[in-house]
Amino acid sequence: MPTFGAAVRARATMAAVGDGTASSSVGDRLERAIERHADIAGEIHRGEEEKPRSLLRNVVWLAVTLVSLYLVFPSLIDTFSSWRDITSFSTASLLAMFGLQVGLCACLWDLQRVALGGAAWRPVIAAQLASNALSNIAPGGGPVGAALQYRIFVSAGLNRTSVVRALTAVNLLVFAVVLGLPVLAIPAVLRGAVDRNLLEAAAATVVAFAVIVGVGALLLNTDRPLTWVGRTVQTVRNRLRRNATPITDLPERLRAERDQITTVLGPRWKRALAASVGRWLLDFMTLQVALAAIGSHPRPGLALMAFCGAKALGNIPATPGGLGFVEAGMTALLTLAGVDPGDAVVATFAYRLFSYWLPLPFGLLGMALAPRRPTPPAAPATAT
């Protein structure tokens, strides 16, 4: 059976036009974004091709970015105009949000070290900080960030094939968790309860952590539940997108991805699963702290839905780091979740301040920590 990476590249090649910046539906863009998480080698190649020497490609991406920013400019202005309201946040709230984002990074560092077989901390931290910052500022930055991360790891002396396999497993696991979060939110939405303070929200998050880890462990170790999930998602997707090419092999692809993850992680999969779940729940708690700081306590399930919806918009590679789309989407979705529109804008600004803007200067620290090698490593030819 062919690897999922090969199938992804074939499907992406048929679906994309040119370099993928051609007009297409939101559904097509989201599906291509999901597929690219399984094709790290392809992302690295695209990142190498999108270096500054490719003037035409940069001009195209810049044009797409400018048009996209124009479309979301009003929402972006509304979000930025609330910057003065951040002074109403308590020092404890600001420190908590910062600490949660540091914890988020620590989860990613530990997850990557596990996937890389216990690599040194320095190249892991350097690669994550530098690639994250570059991905969030460069047009079409995902591939460019992946290429930078790969080059830092290989310059540190890690095996090229092992790096690609590890990064692929990490991407698949982290992305699988965020795709499963909306399902977890459904019972909370139906329950209809409202967490009256941050402590209750934190307790609910701990419970959610345990549930996701348990479900993840089940899916990583048994075929039948994973096959059922694949068939269900495949059926729903094909019914919702009747005009698109139907998917017929999703259960097999999910099992292939799962086997790829467990092969790379080996007996350390439990620790990796906990780190990947912790990465998203700490990010969600950052939003919860922002909401609590302004006295807003929406239903946790609805807030989680808003969080996941904004993250999905961030995966549409129209602007660096989803700039504008995440702000507009999160503000609108929080409003639908029952948050006052003005509070939704302030909470979104505070959340993005810590999750998007604050990590950018730390990219320079990542580059300073990155190992140096006179001859840079070449990108891999194919995913393995």
End-to-end Cα distance, the chain:
13
Across the range 301-309, mean pLDDT stands at: 84
**pLDDT > 50? residue 11:** no
Q: What is the pLDDT of residue 83?
A: 61
What CA–CA distance (Å, rounded) separates 115 from 263? 10
Q: 224-257, pLDDT tens digit by residue?
A: 999 999 999 899 888 988 888 888 888 998 999 8
Q: What is the pLDDT of residue 141?
A: 62
Q: What is the pLDDT of residue 224?
A: 93
Q: What is the pLDDT of residue 182?
A: 78
Across the range 307-311, mean pLDDT stands at: 85
Contacts of 170 (CB under 8 A, 6+ apart): 111, 112, 115, 272, 276
Alpha helix positions (H), 116-159: 121-137, 141-155
| 132 in Cβ contact with 363 (< 8 Å) | yes
* Nearest Cα residue to 198 out of 100, 121, 103: 100
Top pLDDT among 95 and 70 is at: 95
pLDDT band at 380 (very low <50, low <70, confident <90, very high): low
Q: What is the pLDDT of residue 204?
A: 73
Top pLDDT among 250 and 184 is at: 250
Q: 189-204, pLDDT tens digit by residue?
A: 555 555 556 777 777 7
Top pLDDT among 105 and 241 is at: 105
**pLDDT > 90? residue 95:** yes
Helix (H, G, I), strand (E, B) or coil at 119: coil
**pLDDT > 90? residue 99:** yes
Q: What does the DSSP 8-state code read for residue 81?
A: T
Q: 12-47, pLDDT tens digit by residue?
A: 333 333 344 434 565 666 666 667 666 777 777 666
Contacts of 183 (CB under 8 A, 6+ apart): none
Place of tokens 């080996």: 266
Contacts of 336-341 with C-beta under 8 Å, sequence gap 24+, read 336/302, 336/306, 337/298, 337/299, 337/302, 337/303, 337/305, 337/306, 338/298, 338/299, 338/302, 339/291, 339/296, 339/298, 340/296
- pLDDT mean across residues, the chain: 78
**pLDDT > 50? residue 383:** no
Across the range 312-325, mean pLDDT stands at: 71
What CA–CA distance (Å, rounded) separates 239 from 218? 27
What CA–CA distance (Å, rounded) separates 251 from 253? 5
pLDDT band at 96 (very low <50, low <70, confident <90, very high): very high
pLDDT band at 3 (very low <50, low <70, confident <90, very high): very low
Across the range 2-20, mean pLDDT stands at: 38
What CA–CA distance (Å, rounded) separates 221 from 65? 42
What CA–CA distance (Å, rounded) separates 162 from 119? 11
| 354 in Cβ contact with 115 (< 8 Å) | no
pLDDT band at 84 (very low <50, low <70, confident <90, very high): low
Most confident of 63-67, 162-166, 182-186: 162-166
Q: 117-150, pLDDT tens digit by residue?
A: 988 999 999 999 999 888 887 766 677 888 889 9
Across the range 306-316, mean pLDDT stands at: 80
Q: What is the pLDDT of residue 49?
A: 60
Q: 346-356, pLDDT tens digit by residue?
A: 899 899 889 98
Across the range 79-85, mean pLDDT stands at: 62
**pLDDT > 90? residue 316:** no
Top pLDDT among 323 and 158 is at: 158
**pLDDT > 70? residue 9:** no
Q: To the nearest whole percent, how much of the chain has pLDDT over 70?
A: 70
- What does the block give as tokens for 246? 């139907």
